[in-house]
Structure 1
Amino acid sequence: MIDLRLLRDEPDLIRASQRARGESESVVDDLLAADERRRLAVQAFETLRAEQKQLGKLMPKAVGDEKAALLARTRDLAAGVKVAEAAVHDADQALRAAHLAVPNVVAPGVPAGGEDDYVVLREVGDKPDLDGPRDHLELGELLGAIDMERGAKVSGSRFPFMTGVGALLQLGLFQLAMQEAVAHGLIPVIPPVLVKPEAMEGTGFLGAHASEVYRLEADDLYLVGTSEVPLAAYHSGEIIPLDEPLRYAGWSTCFRREAGSYGKDTRGIIRVHQFDKVEMFSFCRPEDAAAEHQRLLAIEEGMLAKVELPYRVIDTAAGDLGSSAARKYDCEAWVPTQGRYRELTSTSNCTTFQARRLNVRYRDGDGRTRTAATLNGTLATPRWLVAILENHQQPDGSVRVPKALQPFVGRDVLEPLR
């Protein structure tokens, strides 16, 4: 959630952020009103409590009519305090609801607009010159690497089996990603993939993204769509040391309902319901967040270079940011059969938005507690295999294995089964 002090001091900044996102400014006014009602409710409660305490001090000395009057006033105050306390509780609930409805403040310099209003920061690598390229699914079937038909038989649409060299290629990609993360000082983590509601809410995935989330109603637990969720909640309610950023790399299975994506990317493994993912996650001081964001982006670009993919980096427009993100960079790889770049990774600076919800703090140089900043960045998903297969294919249907992946896959070329 956003800082209420910033809201009170600079409400027009929050309104401008909403306009940049293409979202309603009314949530800002709603939050301002809820904040004011809560402060008035607390003030009324504290006034009555102060009078109640004062009467308690006078009571032992009172006699006769004075004591009777004090007793009567004490009874009235007790009832009033009870009502005022209930009003504070209701105001707290209303404030939290209004607070959760306001997304993070967009960082200065982020392009305004929607999904198509991104800014291309750079293009890296040469696109392959392919004559009549096969798409990743055709290649995957030739190689015995992807089986969508049996996945649909067993689990339904968008649940692939990765088989043979497909399984080896995916495992190799993820092991390479974890090696890269560790080489850059990240702590490897295999987190739980079932989390409590407060973890999912704390990371901002129960707002606009709620329809994407699988929920186990009998247990009141959620299946994560990214290990960002358990990693963000890992230090919830803690005061952590942040002389240097705390950096983690989580490898987890992820689940997404892909609600609202009917008809989009239905072929192959671009958009599936279950997939593994390596996700980087950092906790740092707010003043270090912009530099940390660039660090995560550099690790992602290094990984793309390792698997020899042509790609571009875009500065995502405000209207295409998630509710938690103040800024997001996407790395998009070239997909030959589509003749366009497709997102493989993203890295987001969530500033103090998530940590404020999850109560993750640190001590500054004066010993005062401050809210930490959080950042995340993807380092590998099965979608990378789409670009790897298509960019490294050869005319006979074989696929050259990038040099960095060859030790994991055990060969330098994947040959068709038939």
Structure 2
Amino acid sequence: MIDPKLLRTDPDRLRRAQQARGESVELVDDLIAADEARRAAVTSFETLRAGQKDLGKQVSRASGDEKQELLGRTKRLAAEVKEAEAAAAGADAAFTELMLTLPNPVFDDVPRGGEDDFTVVETIGSPRDFAAEGFTPRDHLELGQLLGAIDMERGAKVSGSRFYFLTGQGALLEFALINHAIRVATEWGFTPVIPPALVKPSAMEGTGFLGQAAQDVYHLPADDLYLVGTSEVALAAMHSAEILDADTLPRHYVGYSPCYRREAGSYGKDTRGIFRVHWFDKVEMFVYCDSADAEAEHQRLLEFEKTFISSLGLPFQVLEVAAGDLGLSAARKYDCYGWIPTQGRYREITSTSNCTEFQARRLNIRARYAEGVRPVSTLNGTLCAMTRTIIMILENHQQADGSVTVPEVLRPYLGTDVLRPV
């Protein structure tokens, strides 16, 4: 949610942001009208309420016929106050409902356009030339089957399409990645957290996942709980309705959780293997900070992601995402795309978003500063999404015999430098 003052002081900024996203500019005008109606209704109620209190004082001082006349006016005014109060509540609810649909204003220098209009910020590492090495690379599923690491058939038998088992070396590889991710994040000053994977509607709505993203979310109606698509949701809601001590900022958390996504709208896309699945595990970074520090914290999260991917020896690109491809909460987002040899292209492996004060306002998270209490800013960044990272390790580090060289940083956890066919 934005600061309502922006509607009154800088509506053109909101219009520019909506236009950049390819969203309705008219929504800003609708919100301005709703805000004016809300404020007018509140003023009317408060005026009548003040008159009611004044009349009450007059009644206490009156007597005889005058008192009876005043009591009659009191009864009529009470009905008007009740009606005005209901009108004010209705206008406020209408404004709030409309406000929840307004995305976070993007920064003015975010690339314009949609999904394909990203800007490549940098390319790190070079893809292997398998032809020069004399063999054609296998895709991750073939390698996973050779290694006894991935079982799609039994995943589908047990849970349906887009589910899988990681077995043997595949399971051990995920455990190694988790341990590596948590270790380095702890060294960087993050506090490890294992958050709940089921959350209340307020947590989903507060983080912006019940608007345009609602179709991709699993809901348990009997309990009115949601399965999270990222631990960002629980990590953000952890401090909801709290006032933090400014001296404790920035707060850095790193959460590990399963993630669930319906992948609505992806029918027929990436159906082979474990690239696009309904469940995967992920290590996620999350930051609460003073809004003045948010952009610097965003760059730090991006550097952490780059360091982690580089430690695995994976070629990748850093992209700045275009405004039309941002979620509801992000004002700016960077994605890291890792190289997949058998697809001959880079695919998303991590992302990091600066959500400014948008989520904090929706979740009522503030900090107490010397000059008073005000909202904090929140940021998130994927450190390791397990399935896609496993895909890229298998494909980029494969050998002609179907074995896979283990990245050096993972060898202490796996106890070997090579994953071999079974």
What TM-score do you get using the length of structure 1 for normalisation? 0.98
**Structure 1 counterpart of 2:256:** 251
**Structure 2 counterpart of 1:323:** 328
- Deviations, residues 69-121 of structure 1 (Å, cap 9, x unaligned): 21111001100111011111111210111100100000131001001111111
Identity %: 63
Q: Which amino acid aligns with 1:246?
A: R
**Structure 2 counterpart of 1:310:** 315
Residue of structure 2 aligned with 1:347, choices 349, 352, 361 = 352
**Structure 1 counterpart of 2:395:** 390
Shift of 1:136: 0.6
**Structure 2 counterpart of 1:284:** 289
SS at match of 1:240: strand
**Structure 2 counterpart of 1:102:** 102
Residue of structure 2 aligned with 1:212, choices 199, 209, 216 = 216
Residue of structure 2 aligned with 1:372, choices 376, 380, 386 = 376
**Structure 2 counterpart of 1:191:** 195
- Deviations, residues 316-355 of structure 1 (Å, cap 9, x unaligned): 1000101100000001111111111101000000000000
SS at match of 1:231: helix
Shift of 1:408: 1.2
**Structure 2 counterpart of 1:170:** 174
Cα distance between partner residues in 2 of 1:8 and 1:363: 26
Shift of 1:26: 1.7
Cα distance between partner residues in 1 of 2:240 and 2:264: 29
**Structure 2 counterpart of 1:133:** 137
Conservation of the 8 A alpha-carbon contact between 2:19 and 2:25: yes
Cα distance between partner residues in 1 of 2:271 and 2:363: 36
Cα distance between partner residues in 1 of 2:60 and 2:121: 75
Runs of 4+ displaced beyond 6 Å: none
SS at match of 2:319: strand
SS at match of 2:252: strand
What TM-score do you get using the length of structure 2 for normalisation? 0.97
Residue of structure 1 aligned with 2:305, choices 295, 300, 303 = 300
**Structure 1 counterpart of 2:72:** 72
Cα distance between partner residues in 1 of 2:142 and 2:408: 23
Cα distance between partner residues in 2 of 1:99 and 1:223: 25
**Structure 2 counterpart of 1:229:** 233
SS at match of 1:308: coil
Q: Which amino acid aligns with 1:2?
A: I
Cα distance between partner residues in 2 of 1:27 and 1:265: 35
Cα distance between partner residues in 1 of 2:388 and 2:343: 14
Cα distance between partner residues in 2 of 1:97 and 1:224: 23
Cα distance between partner residues in 1 of 2:184 and 2:219: 33
Cα distance between partner residues in 2 of 1:323 and 1:147: 35
C-alpha RMSD of the superposition:
0.8
Q: Does 1:274 align with 2:279?
A: yes
Cα distance between partner residues in 2 of 1:292 and 1:349: 9
SS at match of 1:319: helix
Cα distance between partner residues in 2 of 1:33 and 1:65: 46
**Structure 2 counterpart of 1:182:** 186
SS at match of 2:356: coil
Cα distance between partner residues in 2 of 1:128 and 1:98: 51
SS at match of 2:244: coil
Shift of 1:365: 2.3
Cα distance between partner residues in 2 of 1:308 and 1:154: 34
Shift of 1:395: 0.9
Shift of 1:410: 1.5
Q: Does 1:115 align with 2:115?
A: yes
Count of residue correspondences: 416
Cα distance between partner residues in 1 of 2:285 and 2:225: 23
**Structure 1 counterpart of 2:163:** 159
- Deviations, residues 170-215 of structure 1 (Å, cap 9, x unaligned): 1111111111110110000000111000001000000000011101
SS at match of 1:277: strand
Shift of 1:364: 2.1
SS at match of 2:342: coil
Cα distance between partner residues in 2 of 1:7 and 1:409: 55
Cα distance between partner residues in 1 of 2:50 and 2:304: 57
Residue ranges of structure 2 left out of the alignment (5+ in a row): none
**Structure 1 counterpart of 2:45:** 45
Shift of 1:6: 1.2
Shift of 1:60: 1.6
- Deviations, residues 261-294 of structure 1 (Å, cap 9, x unaligned): 0011111111100111001000001110000000
Q: Which amino acid aligns with 2:222?
A: A
Shift of 1:246: 0.5
Conservation of the 8 A alpha-carbon contact between 2:245 and 2:369: no
Cα distance between partner residues in 2 of 1:103 and 1:71: 50
**Structure 1 counterpart of 2:270:** 265
Q: Which amino acid aligns with 1:90?
A: G
Residue of structure 2 aligned with 1:403, choices 392, 395, 408 = 408
Shift of 1:65: 2.8
**Aligned pairs (5 A) from 1:6-21:** 6-21=6-21
